[in-house]
Chain A
Amino acid sequence: MNDDTQDWEKRYYELEKEFEEFAYVVSHDFYAPLRHISGFTQILMGELPELSEQQKLYEEMIIGSVKEAELSLDAILEYSRMNTDEKYFIDLDLSKIIESVQKKLRPHIEESDAQITLGDMPEKTLADEKLLTRALYCLLDNAITYQPEGQTPLIHISATQKGDKTIICIEDNGIGMKPESVPKAMIILRRLHGDDAYKGRGVGMSFAKKVAEIHGGILSYETEPGKGTKAYLELGKPLPQVSEKEKRSRLQINP
């Protein structure tokens, strides 16, 4: 390995470490004030003799806002953990993964009456089970959620393999997106729709994109407003895993 590569590698692990520490600080220091705001509000409200409708509304607003912030923090943490958590890349049966995702989404599927069909599936897909499950959950959830009101979601999932690449396609008949909005929608917590229009958190696409990248692939879309969406989750050769010990030695930190 030449010096340049080593320098870059060192910088990469330094940044990764920084990001990990950042996520730690976020989790420890931002959850605490939220806990206190919601806790003491509830205690205060419980101690007041009788609340007017207006006061009850204010309480709901505070608790609702805290919940929002908590969910956003959860999302940032989960996103950062995707990088740092240990991964296990093994040959998986994609149809079984999809089956488990459908089980998890059952209430949403039943409520929307979504019709999900499966196409060809490869026998084996090299991936981390937890991450792939999460990505497919997000993409399928989006396909069910972003639909014109009253329409039955029709979703088709298929997968093909080319060399060491697996490309999973999730096609829906939903509202679609402007192709130029796709990059924005892939940023964590960025939402294309107003708060009330769709009840998404703005995390699904960013999670799926991250999962694709960890697997050495990309997430891409074919979509037009009103013409449905095709999401392509491409899995390639997983990025090499580096153990904690190795990272430390590359950063020249003593254990």
Chain B
Amino acid sequence: MKPVEILLVEDNPADVLLAKHAFEKSKIINNLHVAEDGEKAMDFLFKKNGNESVPTPDLIMLDLNLPKIDGHTILETIKNTEKLRRIPIVIMSGSHAQSDIAKSYDLHANCYIVKPVNLSKLSEVTKTLDNFWFSMVTLPPKD
């Protein structure tokens, strides 16, 4: 089976490590790509600046509070780009603010998850994401 390509946009190295750990434990074979700021995420998605041969992700996990370009702007750009807008976007944010949540859905985020504090809850999140997006859901065709 072809591994699924996941793009994690996250600037906090500790959160990146925890996510990697959780995805390593997951059943789905995955390639986790990490972009540490908004600009790098855009480069990856638009295959620019040394990213010419990277795959188009099957799923994007996006933090909101990011250096250079913030998460909402990235979300808006993706959803306004014909080639990218089909990719499901999971917002993974530390923010509980209603305004952040509402804005994310207004900009067509596929779902919003508040980063769990507990490791076992984080594993549950990755397991559920795996199950839902890569087993239950039929994903859009890739060009």
Contact = CB atoms under 8 A, between A and B. Distances in A.
Given A38-B117, A42-B120, A32 B94 contact: yes
Interface residues of A, number: 21
A39 B116 CA distance: 10
Interface in A54-95: 66-67, 70, 77, 81, 84-85
A66 B98 CA distance: 24
Contacts of A28: 65, 94-95
Instruction: Specify the main secondary structure of chain A where it touches its partner.
Output: helix
Given A77-B96, A81-B98, A31 B120 contact: no
A199 to B, nearest CB: 20
Interface of A: 23-24, 27-28, 31-32, 34-36, 38-40, 42-43, 66-67, 70, 77, 81, 84-85
A39 B96 contact: no
A110 B80 CA distance: 54
Contacts of A32: 12, 14-15, 94, 115
Contacts of A36: 14-15, 18
Contact of A34 (B12, B117, B122): B117
Nearest to A77: B96
A70 B116 CA distance: 10
7 contacts: A27-B96, A27-B97, A31-B94, A32-B15, A32-B115, A39-B118, A40-B14
Contact of A27 (B15, B17, B21, B95): B95
A34 B14 CA distance: 11
A24 B97 contact: yes
A99 B74 CA distance: 45
A184 B9 CA distance: 44
Nearest to A41: B119
Contacts of A42: 119-120
Interface of B: 12, 14-15, 17-18, 21, 65, 94-98, 115-120, 122
A66 B65 contact: no
Nearest to B64: A28
Contacts of B116: 35
A24 B95 contact: yes
Contacts of B14: 32, 35-36, 39-40
B117 A85 contact: no
A43 B19 CA distance: 12
Contacts of A67: 117
Contact of B117 (A23, A40, A66, A77): A66
A39 B97 contact: no
Contacts of A40: 14, 17-18
* Closest A-B pairs by Cβ, 10 of them: A36-B14, A42-B119, A39-B119, A39-B18, A28-B94, A70-B117, A35-B117, A31-B94, A27-B96, A34-B117
Chain A CB within 10 Å — which of B12, B94, B116, B120 has the most?
B94
A39 B115 contact: no
A156 to B, nearest CB: 36
